[in-house]
Amino acid sequence: MSERTEIASLGEFGLIEHLTRENETRNVNTILSIGDDAAVIDTFGKQMVVTTDMLVEGVHFDLMYTPLKHLGYKAVIVNLSDIYAMNAEPTQITLSIAVSNRFSVEALDEFYDGVNLACERYGVDLVGGDTTSSQKGFVISVTAIGEVEENKFVTRSGAKENDLICVTGDLGASYLGLLLMEREKQIYVENPNIQPNFENHTYIIERLLKPEARRKMIAWFKENNLTPTSMIDISDGLSSELLHICKQSEVGCTIYEEKLPVHEQTKEGAAKFGIAATTCALNGGEDYELLFTISPDDFEKVKECELLNIIGHITKPEDGKVLITNGNNRIELSAQGWNHLKNK
């Protein structure tokens, strides 16, 4: 070990690519392995989907403003979101936690209340896990398993020129919720007598602390017999996820600022913080919305659907990855999403 490469020099995705570059597939029932939101495993008839995520105190959440029940709920949701992003239905999860003795049983009960609530609402079984101690902090690891009809799963690599780019819900709210909580935390740390005022901000705070996964969109696809050509969930920001789709599909894209769905409270919050709401929508992250592409032939089906907004279309690779602003400027999209490893 004569040389030393800093993890930060690769970035999170670079690191994963690096670490898994020699990963081989050995079993015929492994249909899709590393490189998408989840892995697909044939289960003879239906196919099984599996995904996993780790949440680390001080990196992914701050217990000063994150209620444990919300944290438990969110830890499940972020994994279910990955399952839905495969066009699959989640069926089981496993949950492992490492906690220091700073936590009481009652505190862990609150956490599990949130986990159980998410499982109940989304019809998922908690089927295993591990509970251990940590020297410091709280670490959560969830693995979610889902099922999908044979070869109906949707990857990031199927987008074609002229496909429509769609996104569920609205974007940027969670990021503004985070900015708000961080600011109130600072104020509180400096003067504990000042109580935070969250009036008019309930939506963006809820989006941060208690996100939901887009189950209804997947159900709608099934009902309307529509299969997206590509799909991903938005955890690192619209821009970053769209670049994943373009890279893995070998295409370009054009999206329109005026089409980006942004909630009224997000706009107000952005104005207060003096940042553009569009920047939040593009790069905020933790939205857990679904970003997907559909064939233009399916336009008639989706045009009345209230679950989604069409924000642009797929182009030739040489046309680049572009945002057309309200002022009609062309801006090259870049990934400025979360990079936990770089921040440390």
Residue of 64, 136, 186, 316 that binds a copy of itself (CB under 8 A): 136
Between 135 and 191, whose beta carbon lies closer to a copy of itself? 135
Does 235 engage in binding with a copy of itself (CB under 8 A)? no
> Which residue type, as a one-letter code, is found at position 129?
G
Q: How far is CA 280 from the centre of its chain?
A: 15
Cβ-count burial of 284 within 10 angstroms (0-12 exposed, 13-18 middle, 19+ buried)?
A: buried
Distance (Å, whole) CA 11 – CA 334: 14
**Bridge partners, 32 (sequence order):** 40
Interface mask (CB under 8 A) for a copy of itself, residues 137-156, using x and -? x-x-x-x-x-x---------
Residue of 43, 157, 279, 295 that binds a copy of itself (CB under 8 A): 43
Q: State the DSSP H helix or E strand holding residue 46, giving kind and residue range, or none if neither.
A: strand 46-56
Count of residues binding a copy of itself (CB under 8 A)?
Answer: 88
Q: Per the structure block, which two tokens stand in for 296?
A: 């233009």
Residue of 98, 209, 294, 333 that binds a copy of itself (CB under 8 A): 98
Residue of 76, 80, 124, 159 that binds a copy of itself (CB under 8 A): 124
Choose the stretch contacting a copy of itself; rule: CB under 8 A; options: 40-48, 155-163, 187-195, 215-223.
40-48
Terminal-residue alpha carbon distance, the chain: 23
Does 256 engage in binding with a copy of itself (CB under 8 A)? no
Residue of 63, 66, 67, 112 that binds a copy of itself (CB under 8 A): 112
In whole angstroms, the minimum distance from the beta carbon of 166 to a copy of itself comes to: 25
Instruction: Kindly identify the residues of this chain, within the stretch 56-75, that bind a copy of itself according to CB under 8 A.
Output: 56-60
For 171-220, give the DSSP string.
SSHHHHHHHHHHHHHHHHHH-TTSPP--TT-HHHHHHHHS----HHHHHH
